[in-house]
Amino acid sequence: MEAQLERKSMLWINLLSVVIPVAVALLLGIPQKIDFGAWTSTLPHVIGVINSLTAVLLLYGFYLIKQGQIEQHKRVMTGAFALGALFLLCYVAYHISNPSTKFGGEGTIRYIYFFVLISHIGLSFIVLPLVLRTYYFSWSNQMGKHKKIARIAFPIWLYVSITGVIAYIMIRPYYV
């Protein structure tokens, strides 16, 4: 019974790991933007805050687990997971309702920006299934599997969160 539940859970995780990025890409490709109102122009700033808070929670969660504070670690990591969901909602809402912002920097800073942005986006696709699995294994009390995947997921998730903030700071002067 447990093996069957795990297979179903992994199927859902795999499905979400493909459907979410594809859906986001399709939504971003919609040429006609949807008017949700002027408030959506503030979403990049909200997203920057979300990424910052996520990075802080990830570091705090890492500290807590190293201190053996498992229940506090679970709560903090659940907060980071929830911020990830909120990020996704804000990101989609912004990009389906506002035109893309072009980076205006020139020279070396332009290459740095695109390296940060491309590595951020690429690793965000990789970290999604890792985070979903890590979260699942924690809540299903499969601590061996949880720890094994968390060792891979944590640094990637932290990198994605931090580079999200860096990309935001770099493009912020170009928002209309």
CA distance 123 to 70: 27
pLDDT tens-place string over residues 104-131: 999 999 999 999 999 999 999 999 999 9
3-state secondary structure the chain: CHHHHHHHHHHHHHHHHHHHHHHHHHHHCCCCCCCCCHHHHHHHHHHHHHHHHHHHHHHHHHHHHHCCCHHHHHHHHHHHHHHHHHHHHHHHHHHCCCCCCCCCCCCHHHHHHHHHHHHHHHHHHHHHHHHHHHHHHHHCCCHHHHHHHHHHHHHHHHHHHHHHHHHHHHHHHHCC
pLDDT at 1: 67
pLDDT tens-place string over residues 138-172: 999 999 999 999 999 999 999 999 999 999 999 99
pLDDT tens-place string over residues 52-84: 999 999 999 999 999 999 999 999 999 999 999
pLDDT at 64: 98
Report in angstroms the alpha-carbon separations of 143 from 8, 79, 124, 176. 19, 19, 24, 47
Contact 162, 120 (CB under 8 A): no
Burial of 7 (0-12, 13-18, 19+ CB in 10 A): exposed
Domain boundaries of the chain, sorted by first residue: 2-174
pTM for this one?
Answer: 0.92
* Top-tier CATH class for 2-174: mainly alpha
Average pLDDT over residues 78-92: 95
pLDDT at 176: 67
